[in-house]
Amino acid sequence: MDGNGRWASSRGLARAEGHAEGARAVRDAVETATRIGIPFLTLYAFSVANWARPRGEVEALMRLLVDFAKSERMELRQNGIRVNVIGSLEDLPTVTRHAVEDLITYTKDGERMTLTLALSYGGKKDIVEAARTLAIKARAGLLLPEEIDERSLALHMTTHALPDVDLLIRTGGESRVSDFLLFESAYAELLFLPIMWPDFRPQTLVDAVEHYGQKERRFGMTSEQVAKNVQAFDPFDQPS
Ligand code: IPE
Ligand code: MG
């Protein structure tokens, strides 16, 4: 969700106003995703690198998160949306952390869509921490190093409850992944949009999903194999 700051600056507004407008776009995107039947929506709300921003901006984002959690909790629950977090929730200020934890508990029975907020998230960091956890387990004799595979690594990441990424959308005009879901988006379709995040409309998401639907995903195979429905290589399903 890139471009909040530029959206604000181009209107002579403070960056925080751009983030507030971005939160409105989030509400619309969540509602639209639910309506069109997307089972998993993951939003890159705050990266590990974002901690380096000016203190006032970090505080504004943390406050906005509290406001979002409080104002949306009822509607999220009513719409069957379960909130989940990837990254390091424990890095957040106590008030924000509590508001998000409350949101997770309050919406835990939602079965229509899983809305994941990436908070203090870094893709490399998530991979490194999973590797460290596996190494610690191996040292303790709980697993053999030879048993480490893609599945065990994936299960130790904060994304363990999520499927791999199908479609990754970045607004704001940059063609970068910026440390988002590196492991999980190995075969994702990437869509880079020139619009700023506050200008993301329900129709933008509908169009993006339609564009995605026209793509042929080959997972390393040929077009002919895909047409014949040949089973794709599944790293989790290899004879050991
Ligand atoms: C939103 O956009 C990013 C976050 C959710 C922290 P930016 O704040 O990066 O906006 P630009 O790139 O400065 O326009
Ligand atoms: Mg940016």
First-to-last CA distance in the chain? 40
Counting ligands in written order, the one closest to the CA of 8 is: 1
Are β-strands 113-121 and 81-87 bridged in parallel, bridged antiparallel, or unpaired? parallel
Catalytic residue check, 4: no
Both tokens assigned to 19: 């983030």
Counting ligands in written order, the one closest to the CA of 19 is: 1
Q: Is residue 237 a part of any domain in this protein?
A: no
Atom of ligand 1 nearest to the CA of 2: 2
Q: Which domain holds residue 124?
A: 4-228
Q: Is residue 234 a part of any domain in this protein?
A: no
Mutational pocket test of ligand 1: of 6, 47, 170, the residue with most ligand atoms within 8 Å of the beta carbon: 6
Ligand 1 centroid to residue 3 C-alpha, Å: 5
Q: Is residue 66 a part of any domain in this protein?
A: yes
Ligand 2 centroid to residue 2 C-alpha, Å: 5
Q: Is residue 240 a part of any domain in this protein?
A: no
Tens-binned pLDDT, residue by residue, of the chain (240 aa): 999 999 999 999 999 999 999 999 999 999 999 999 999 999 999 999 999 999 999 999 999 999 999 999 999 999 999 999 999 999 999 999 999 999 999 999 999 999 999 999 999 999 999 999 999 999 999 999 999 999 999 999 999 999 999 999 999 999 999 999 999 999 999 999 999 999 999 999 999 999 999 988 889 999 999 999 888 877 666 554
What is the domain-level CATH number for residue 51?
Answer: 3.40.1180.10
Cα–Cα distance, 173 to 199 (Å, whole number): 12
Q: Is residue 85 a part of any domain in this protein?
A: yes
Q: Is residue 236 a part of any domain in this protein?
A: no
Q: Is residue 24 a part of any domain in this protein?
A: yes
Residues with C-beta atoms within 5 A of ion ligand 2: 2
Ligand 1 centroid to residue 221 C-alpha, Å: 37
Q: Is the pTM of this model over 0.85?
A: yes
3-state secondary structure of 238: coil
Are β-strands 167-170 and 113-121 bridged in parallel, bridged antiparallel, or unpaired? unpaired
Cβ neighbours around 183 below 10 Å, total: 17
Q: What is the count of structural domains for the chain?
A: 1
What are the Cα distances from residue 182, in Å, to 1, 18, 164, 227? 16, 27, 10, 28
Question: Which pairs from 144-152 meet CB under 8 Å and 24+ separation?
Answer: 149/235, 149/236, 149/238, 149/240, 150/235, 150/236, 151/235, 151/236
Q: Is residue 233 a part of any domain in this protein?
A: no
Report yes or no: 15 and 8 within 8 Å, Cβ to Cβ. Answer: yes
Report yes or no: 85 and 100 within 8 Å, Cβ to Cβ. Answer: yes
Catalytic residue among 28, 50, 79, 166: 50
Atom of ligand 1 nearest to the CA of 15: 8
- The alpha carbon of residue 51 and the mean position of all alpha carbons in its chain are separated, in whole angstroms, by 18
Ligand 1 centroid to residue 117 C-alpha, Å: 15
**Size of the chain in residues:** 240
Instruction: Considering only CA atoms, give the Rg of the chain.
Output: 19
**Cβ(122) – ligand 1 distance below 6 Å:** no
